[in-house]
């Protein structure tokens, strides 16, 4: 289904404004649009990708998800996109939208995200609220670094096995620090983790990772700054 550019633009604008009434009208006027690729400058994304697009937290996001699903949107839609809408919600820590997608039937273990599953995306990008939600909704923990970041000590021990590589142990240690999981970090240090390990996808040491803000907090800081909020603390 090829959408006229002005229709796609109107749909995107309604979603980003949280204008449920306009969105409802557009869905009625254009049957089938809820499951279509937008096309044009919006590329292959679906409307559910729009409501989960970075930076997330669009007004009325959960209500929009429910409306789109009721209109026929597939919560696991990806088509031209490798990632599902749940991957995108996980990557911004938009926990309320993620919950709405899961309630609608989204696959919590969908593959092919930028890091892996939605849980992999959530943990990898420091999106702890969605990570805990996914875990509570049955997402599978399949790597030592995921288990370490979430403080799952039994799973961590099992996933490491008896003879893990030094890099595997150190990577898990880094993520334990990123997730603020001291017991996991202590356990991994006892198994030979490198205290100064820097993974290839970061410039941070484990100590830097502990000190860094989560994705949700970084997002909130940037939003407040856009609004003109100031701090009593001097800038670095």
The pLDDT of residue 236 is above 70 = no
R_g of the chain, CA atoms, integer Å: 20
pLDDT digit string, tens, across residues 38-90: 888 888 889 999 999 999 999 999 999 999 999 999 999 876 678 999 999 99
Please name each of the domains of the chain with its CATH number: 1-125 (1.25.40.20), 141-228 (1.25.40.20)
Q: Between the CA of residue 147 and those of 19, 30, 52, 198, what are the distances in Å?
A: 39, 45, 26, 19
Long-range contacts of 155-158 (CB under 8 A, 24+ apart): 156/184, 156/187, 156/188, 157/187
The alpha carbon of residue 34 and the mean position of all alpha carbons in its chain are separated, in whole angstroms, by 22
Instruction: Enter the pTM of the model.
Output: 0.92
The pLDDT mean for the chain works out to 94
């Amino acid at each position: 289904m090829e959408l006229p550019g002005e229709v796609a633009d109107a749909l995107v604008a309604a979603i980003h404004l949280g204008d449920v009434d306009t969105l409802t009208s557009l869905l009625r006027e254009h049957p089938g649009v809820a499951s279509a690729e937008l096309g044009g400058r919006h590329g292959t994304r679906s409307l559910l990708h729009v409501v989960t697009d970075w930076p997330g937290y669009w007004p009325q996001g959960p209500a929009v998800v429910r409306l789109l699903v009721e209109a026929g949107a597939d919560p696991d839609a990806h088509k031209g996109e490798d990632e599902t809408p749940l991957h995108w919600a996980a990557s911004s820590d938009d926990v309320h939208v993620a919950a709405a997608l899961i309630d609608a039937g989204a696959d919590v273990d969908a593959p092919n995200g930028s890091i892996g599953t939605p849980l992999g995306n959530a943990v990898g990008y420091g999106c702890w609220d969605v990570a805990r939600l996914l875990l509570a909704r049955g997402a599978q923990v399949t790597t030592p670094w995921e288990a370490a970041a979430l403080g799952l000590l039994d799973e961590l021990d099992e996933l490491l096995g008896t003879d893990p590589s030094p890099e595997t142990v150190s990577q898990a240690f880094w993520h334990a620090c990123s997730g603020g999981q001291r017991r996991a970090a202590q356990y991994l240090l006892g198994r030979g983790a490198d205290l100064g390990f820097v993974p290839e996808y970061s410039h941070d040491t484990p100590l830097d990772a502990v000190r860094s803000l989560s994705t949700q907090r970084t997002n909130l800081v940037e939003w407040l700054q856009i609004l003109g909020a100031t701090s009593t603390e001097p800038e670095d």
